[in-house]
Structure 1
Amino acid sequence: MLLALGGLALTVASAHAASPANPGFDVEAATRLWLDTLQGPARARSDAYFEGGYWLPLWGTLIALAIDLVILRLRISAAIRDLAVHLVRRRSLAVALTALLYALLGTALTLPWTIYTGYFREKQYGLMNMSFGGWLGEQAIEFAISLVLMTLLIVIVYAVIRRFPKTWWVLGTGVIALFMVFVMALSPVYVAPLFNTYTELPQGPVRERIVAMAKAHQIPAEHIYLFDASKQSKRISANVSGVGPTIRISLNDNLLNRSTPDEIAAVMGHEMGHYVLGHTWRNVIFITALAALMLFATSRIAPALLARFGKSWGVKELADPASLPVLSICLSVLSLLATPALNTLIRVDESEADAFGLDVAREPDGFASIAMKLSEYRKIEPGPIEEALFFDHPSGETRVRMAMQWKKDHVPDAKMFHPAPLPQTFGKE
């Protein structure tokens, strides 16, 4: 919340410091013209989809907690541990096997919820392009990758817990930070291509403009990738991903095919802002600090739970791999409580990238237009508290107003633009 207030203060200060280039240009009226392009059933559908998403993390956490409590109460995690110890004598392998079996069981039990939130709900709102079989296949690939990576992480963390039972959360934080950077570096090259085909963006005015913007800010632009996200959904997106030698610029075919050149430039300028402003490393530092707080709290809460219920659960100590559901309970609740803080960090990053993108692309109306297109899955006009708590990006209203203020301050003789209304079928198949 402090980050949000600080960002707001900077925005207000810079607005007062700027000398209006067009005192006759009405920012609020221009903003309203854009916002009013979304009306009727299309706006109701946008609001319903996004507002329904407010409850998904809570219900998902409650379902996970219920499953973990049942696993503990029925001593299933203890039985899994006993089976693992019986099959493999080496401690690290027993931890790995326990983690694998626990993950398989948890995934099977939460599968109905995953299917509803990941497939049927998306299909209901016209955002899903895949068949159920295709979606399920991608989920299987994602689960296999997560299973390998998370098992490795769990084995390392439990080794740290055994070696440093009192201060394990300190080294555990370092392990998670290194793991996070490792995944960020490898994902663009080895994980993303498992789900989409990446090809070079064809030569032409769009590529030339992206390359010019990238080179002007020392962003590597030897390769600009286009990927076929339309096979999965209708969502428009782009990114500058990777770390060090794996950094790359990518945009999806929805952005290319459903947007104007000005809109594309606005989006790519925004994405470049994340790179130039160092958001990747700032986020790593923030998330590492947040992980440290969560692991510290877990190092106090989990032993207390085991002292009270461990005997009935068949869990001997925190270093016992049968304690995995206990760690999961603690981290699930703490993650849910940390959501507003994480949303605030991301929202501040996105706002800074918006400002950067406007300066680079110089397309305020293109930026406003793409902000309205994102209303397919983002509520356009939330209340201030609603936006602070639930939005991990600035709302469409916030973004359009920023674009119109930029237009007033930087475009000589700026004129009011009267955009056409979005169709009532907007957001539907």
Structure 2
Amino acid sequence: MIQWNSLMVFFLTVFVVSSLARGVLKGLNIRHLRRHGHEIPEEFRGEIDGETLAKISRYTLDSHRFGTVESLFDDAVTLAVFLGGLLPWLIDRLPVWEEHFLLTGLLFFGLLGLASGLIGLPFDLYRTFVIEKRHGFSTITLRLWLIDLLKGIAVSSVLMGLLLSAFLTLLRFAPHSWWFWTWLVFASFQLLMIWLYPIVIAPLFNKYEPIRDEGLKEAIIALMAKVGLKTEGVYQMDAGKRSRHTNAYFTGLGKTKRIVLFDTLIASHTAEEIAAVLAHEIGHWKRRHILKQLFFMEAVSLIVLWIVSQLVAWPLLYETFGFSRPIPFVGLLLSAALFGPLTILITPIVSATQRRFEWEADKYVSVLTGTTTPLMSALKRMARDNLANLHPHPLYAGFYYSHPPLTERIARLQEFECKKVS
């Protein structure tokens, strides 16, 4: 039975305040859009019209409303699980942890993951087949959606099963140092996935083939060669069979990269614009942004795991949520529930750092190609094609935007070009 003590009060206070903060930020963003959504920003004059702005407003409002409903439902389910005694009830029906540590841990997390996935299915269906289709983005069929779902379950079950098995084994046989070895295993796994994902996992879901435009391919290879990068290949991905959204990325460790362009991007952008987008990605590599982010995440992970290692032996943590005795892997989940909502405090700091990285990568486009004009053109086209919100509330953007708001981004690029001329 749960205990209504100071720790429970702390949990509920942090949870409610975090949820309210997220709700207030969404509300501010919606109100700001309703007030200014009809205004064409100076940077987009001649690029979009009133009809496009109306589409942007409808898409953003639909997405926000649906996201709010989903968040409220998730919060209600979370409270029901942690306050309703469902976790102790589940543990009581599983084999004893000390005797069957792998089986018990895998069943515990597996059943919770299955329940979470089933609860999320209706929301994913509605988002994909109602909201995204209503606004002209989703092109996926129900059959393909189901195939993706089954493949995703299979892949995640294998990968998470292996990671959880390693974690549970360390927890059982290295009770005082498991946090360090777990961090080492997970960090190694992340590095492995950087190499493995594009060549093994991604092709399970999408078709990759060499791009057909030889001129574009040669331009990309020449661009990469300017900074001493080699290409494992330049591929186009059949993103259009799922969505009309556009994107491009490159992956790979070291100086050999695999370039991937969405077929939707190739169809809607000029070769100059695509080269500018890739020059921006090269800027991230050249300025070591990926490496810095990786080091930051690993440092935070190490600190968090050490803190959790102190909490999993705390009897009050288990008593508060209705457990009769400490169970280390359950303590991991309880610690996440207790302190997870506090991540909202560092969210704006992380977002601000990411936006600074984006600006540095934008400027590097000029270093590599001599101009940012094609990048500005690409950003405007992406904004129009993806119905990006051109009027986010500054506070909302400050918290959640990993990229500068598009009007601000283009204005800074225009100012940057003017300074170059003068």
Q: Same fold (TM over 0.5)?
A: yes
Where do 5+ consecutive residues of structure 1 fail to align?
A: 1-30, 413-429
Matched, 1:78 2:91: yes
- The offset of 1:349, in angstroms, is 2.5
Aligned to 2:377, which of 369, 376, 391?
369
User: CA distance change for structure 1 residues 367 and 295 in 2, over 3 Å: closer, same or farther?
Assistant: same
Aligned to 2:365, which of 357, 382, 385?
357
* 1:136-285 matches, cutoff 5 A: 136-166=146-176, 168-244=178-254, 247-285=257-295
Q: Any idea what SS the aligned residue of 1:81 has? A: coil
User: CA distance change for structure 1 residues 327 and 128 in 2, over 3 Å: closer, same or farther?
Assistant: farther
Matched, 1:69 2:82: yes
Residues 298 and 330 of structure 1 are in contact (CA less than 8 Å); yes or no, is this contact kept in structure 2?
no
Aligned to 2:317: 306
Q: What do residues 59-98 of structure 1 show as CA deviations (whole Å, max 9, x unaligned)?
A: 475256246427743644314533x879xx6532442343
Residues 81 and 87 of structure 2 are in contact (CA less than 8 Å); yes or no, is this contact kept in structure 1?
no
Residues 43 and 407 of structure 2 are in contact (CA less than 8 Å); yes or no, is this contact kept in structure 1?
no
Aligned to 1:339, which of 326, 347, 353?
347
User: CA distance change for structure 1 residues 135 and 76 in 2, over 3 Å: closer, same or farther?
Assistant: farther
Q: Any idea what SS the aligned residue of 2:48 has? A: coil
- The offset of 1:400, in angstroms, is 1.0
Residues 177 and 284 of structure 1 are in contact (CA less than 8 Å); yes or no, is this contact kept in structure 2?
no
Matched, 1:130 2:143: no
Q: Any idea what SS the aligned residue of 1:144 has? A: helix
* 1:279-428 matches, cutoff 5 A: 279-300=289-310, 303=314, 306-310=317-321, 312-313=322-323, 316-319=325-328, 321-322=329-330, 325-327=333-335, 329-330=337-338, 332-335=340-343, 337-375=345-383, 376-410=386-420
User: CA distance change for structure 1 residues 296 and 46 in 2, over 3 Å: closer, same or farther?
Assistant: farther
- How big is the alpha-carbon RMSD for the aligned residues of Structure 1 and Structure 2? 3.2
- The offset of 1:216, in angstroms, is 0.5
User: CA distance change for structure 1 residues 261 and 195 in 2, over 3 Å: closer, same or farther?
Assistant: same
Where do 5+ consecutive residues of structure 2 fail to align?
A: 1-40
Q: Any idea what SS the aligned residue of 2:235 has? A: strand
- The offset of 1:123, in angstroms, is 2.4
- The offset of 1:103, in angstroms, is 1.8
- The offset of 1:237, in angstroms, is 0.8
Q: Any idea what SS the aligned residue of 2:145 has? A: helix
- The offset of 1:389, in angstroms, is 0.9
TM-score by length of 2: 0.77
User: CA distance change for structure 1 residues 304 and 222 in 2, over 3 Å: closer, same or farther?
Assistant: same
CA distance in 2, matches of 1:331, 1:141: 32
CA distance in 2, matches of 1:192, 1:50: 29
User: CA distance change for structure 1 residues 125 and 43 in 2, over 3 Å: closer, same or farther?
Assistant: same
Q: What do residues 396-427 of structure 1 show as CA deviations (whole Å, max 9, x unaligned)?
A: 11221232123223458xxxxxxxxxxxxxxx
Equivalent AA in structure 1 for residue 327 of structure 2: L
Aligned residues: 376
TM-score by length of 1: 0.76
User: CA distance change for structure 1 residues 74 and 296 in 2, over 3 Å: closer, same or farther?
Assistant: closer
Q: Any idea what SS the aligned residue of 1:249 has? A: strand
User: CA distance change for structure 1 residues 378 and 386 in 2, over 3 Å: closer, same or farther?
Assistant: same
User: CA distance change for structure 1 residues 403 and 222 in 2, over 3 Å: closer, same or farther?
Assistant: same
Q: Any idea what SS the aligned residue of 1:394 has? A: coil
Q: Any idea what SS the aligned residue of 1:105 has? A: helix
Q: Which moved more, 1:109-118 or 1:224-233?
A: 109-118
Q: What do residues 198-252 of structure 1 show as CA deviations (whole Å, max 9, x unaligned)?
A: 1112253211211111100111124111111111111111111132487311111
* 1:95-114 matches, cutoff 5 A: 95-114=105-124
CA distance in 2, matches of 1:74, 1:95: 13
CA distance in 1, matches of 2:405, 2:56: 12
CA distance in 2, matches of 1:49, 1:297: 41
CA distance in 1, matches of 2:154, 2:112: 14
